[in-house]
């Protein structure tokens, strides 16, 4: 077996076993684990660069799921490898995701909207610092994976128009009825307003089975004058105190990839986007280029040593 980069007991298989056994969520964890084992895991090349060599980081996630997190030796992207299959992800999000997260079957949409509004406020503050600030009011905003629509509700007075889509039927119903937003049940928008437009992808890309394919698909919806705003949870923020400095809390069954500023920039280039702005949060503003792919390079920061650096910030090691 490959030597694990994070060598402490808490990052291994046995700890994961004990974690899921003693968890207050043990019943749902059992059901979800059976599901991904039934579908089978997928040995595939790196989703960013196609590389086949990885370094093993960790053998369990925050819930004790026995999935390996690995870093690609070629591009430095951290990802679940072997990966869970797309069919598994579809069933997981439909039937298990909310309950695993919240331990509840019913969803408190009012609370979700409150959190989404805070995100929306933060996104607007970020956009104010970019070159899009002056033209924000002229943009039609389209959010993919908008849930109940709190982010769009925050944007609606600041932009020309807002609309959204999500596969969560209940969330869409809530946003339409309670917030009177233009929402539809769909993965991608089925109708688009005239340009210029700002597409939003908030905490979606890390969940998608093939983020490069998703980015290319979104680009087909865009005109040269449009923007794509993306946020994903940045792995380097763990060193700054997110997830209480604990990479194991950050590693999550639902996260197919764990991006840094460097790997998000590389992914954007691979999908043919120019990066206007990107930070380690990871929050980014992109524009489609006329090229199918732009040159990219590995960031010097995306290394196994960086993973060890992040882990070294954890208290009480």
Instruction: Point out which span in 17-25, 38-46, 153-161, 244-252 binds Zn ion (CB under 5 A).
Output: 38-46
Q: Enumerate the H helices of the chain as residue ranges.
A: 13-22, 26-39, 86-95, 97-102, 109-128, 150-155, 169-178, 211-221, 247-250, 261-270, 304-311
Nearest to Zn ion of 237, 267 (CB atom): 267
Coil, strand, or helix at residue 42? Answer: strand
Q: How far, in Å, CA of 230 to CA of 34, rounded?
A: 32
Q: Does 256 bind Zn ion (CB under 5 A)?
A: no
Q: Does 48 bind Zn ion (CB under 5 A)?
A: yes
Q: Please pick, from the candidates 6, 32, 67, 72, the single residue that binds Zn ion as defined by CB under 5 A.
A: 72
Q: What is the largest CA-CA distance in the chain?
A: 56
User: 177 is written with which tokens?
Assistant: 């009825």
Q: Does 278 bind Zn ion (CB under 5 A)?
A: no
Q: How far, in Å, CA of 134 to CA of 113, rounded?
A: 27
Q: Please pick, from the candidates 18, 28, 31, 51, the single residue that binds Zn ion as defined by CB under 5 A.
A: 51
Q: Please pick, from the candidates 46, 142, 152, 159, the single residue that binds Zn ion as defined by CB under 5 A.
A: 46
Q: Does 74 bind Zn ion (CB under 5 A)?
A: yes
- Crossing angle of helices 26-39 and 86-95, in 10° steps, is 150
Q: Does 215 bind Zn ion (CB under 5 A)?
A: no
Q: Does 49 bind Zn ion (CB under 5 A)?
A: yes
Q: Are 5 and 304 in contact (CB under 8 A)?
A: yes
Q: Give, as ranges, the residues between 139 and 168 that touch Zn ion (CB under 5 A).
A: none
Q: Does 266 bind Zn ion (CB under 5 A)?
A: no
Residue indicated by tokens 């439909």: 94
Q: How far is the CB of 18 from Zn ion (least distance, A)?
A: 32
Instruction: Point out which span in 4-12, 48-56, 221-229, 252-260 binds Zn ion (CB under 5 A).
Output: 48-56
Q: How far is the CB of 293 from Zn ion (least distance, A)?
A: 15
Instruction: Point out which span in 70-78, 190-198, 213-221, 276-284 binds Zn ion (CB under 5 A).
Output: 70-78
Q: How far is the CB of 274 from Zn ion (least distance, A)?
A: 21
Coil, strand, or helix at residue 13? Answer: helix
CB atoms within 10 A of CB 102: 13
Q: Does 75 bind Zn ion (CB under 5 A)?
A: yes
Count of residues in contact with Zn ion, rule CB under 5 A: 8
Q: Does 222 bind Zn ion (CB under 5 A)?
A: no
Q: Does 264 bind Zn ion (CB under 5 A)?
A: no
- 18 Cβ contact list (under 8 Å, min separation 6): 64
Coil, strand, or helix at residue 168? Answer: coil
SS3 of the chain: helix, strand, coil, percent, to 5 = 40, 15, 45
Instruction: Point out which span in 34-42, 69-77, 215-223, 252-260 binds Zn ion (CB under 5 A).
Output: 69-77
> In terms of Cα–Cα distance, which of 4, 20, 64 is closest to 248?
64
Instruction: Point out which span in 76-84, 109-117, 150-158, 176-184 binds Zn ion (CB under 5 A).
Output: 76-84
Q: How far, in Å, CA of 42 to CA of 40, rounded?
A: 7
Q: Does 193 bind Zn ion (CB under 5 A)?
A: no
Q: How far is the CB of 235 from Zn ion (least distance, A)?
A: 14
Residues paired with residue 258 on neighbouring β-strands, in sequence order: 78
Q: How far is the CB of 49 from Zn ion (least distance, A)?
A: 3
Phi, psi torsion values for 167, nearest 5 degrees: -85, -5
Q: How far is the CB of 46 from Zn ion (least distance, A)?
A: 3
Name the residues that contact Zn ion, by CB under 5 A.
46, 48-49, 51, 72, 74-75, 77
């Amino acid at each position: 077996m490959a030597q694990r980069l994070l060598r402490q007991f808490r990052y291994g298989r046995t700890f994961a076993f004990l974690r899921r056994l003693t968890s207050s969520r043990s019943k749902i964890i059992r059901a979800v684990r059976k599901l991904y084992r039934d579908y089978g895991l997928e040995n595939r090349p790196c989703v960013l660069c196609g590389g086949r060599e990885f370094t093993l980081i960790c053998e369990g996630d925050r819930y004790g799921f026995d999935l390996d997190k690995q870093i690609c030796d070629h591009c430095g992207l951290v990802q679940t490898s072997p990966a869970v299959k797309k069919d598994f992800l579809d069933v997981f999000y439909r039937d298990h995701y909310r309950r695993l997260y919240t331990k509840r079957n019913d969803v408190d949409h009012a609370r979700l909207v409150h959190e989404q509004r805070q995100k929306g406020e933060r996104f607007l503050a970020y956009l104010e610092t970019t070159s899009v600030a002056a033209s924000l009011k002229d943009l039609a905003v389209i959010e993919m994976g908008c849930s109940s629509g709190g982010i769009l509700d925050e944007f609606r007075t600041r932009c020309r128009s807002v609309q959204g889509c999500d596969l969560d039927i209940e969330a869409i119903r809530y946003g339409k009825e309670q917030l009177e937003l233009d929402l539809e049940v769909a993965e991608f928008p089925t109708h688009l307003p005239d340009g210029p437009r700002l597409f939003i992808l908030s905490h979606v890309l890390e969940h998608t089975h093939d983020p490069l394919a998703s980015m290319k698909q979104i680009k087909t919806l865009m005109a040269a004058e449009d923007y794509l705003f993306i946020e994903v949870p940045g792995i380097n923020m763990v060193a700054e105190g997110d997830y209480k400095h604990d990479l194991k809390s950050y590693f999550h069954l639902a996260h197919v990839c764990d991006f840094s500023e460097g790997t998000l920039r590389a992914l954007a280039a691979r999908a043919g986007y120019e990066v206007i702005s990107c930070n380690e949060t990871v929050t980014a503003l992109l524009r489609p280029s006329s090229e199918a792919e732009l040159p990219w390079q590995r960031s010097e920061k995306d290394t196994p040593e960086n993973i060890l650096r992040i882990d070294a910030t954890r208290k009480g090691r």
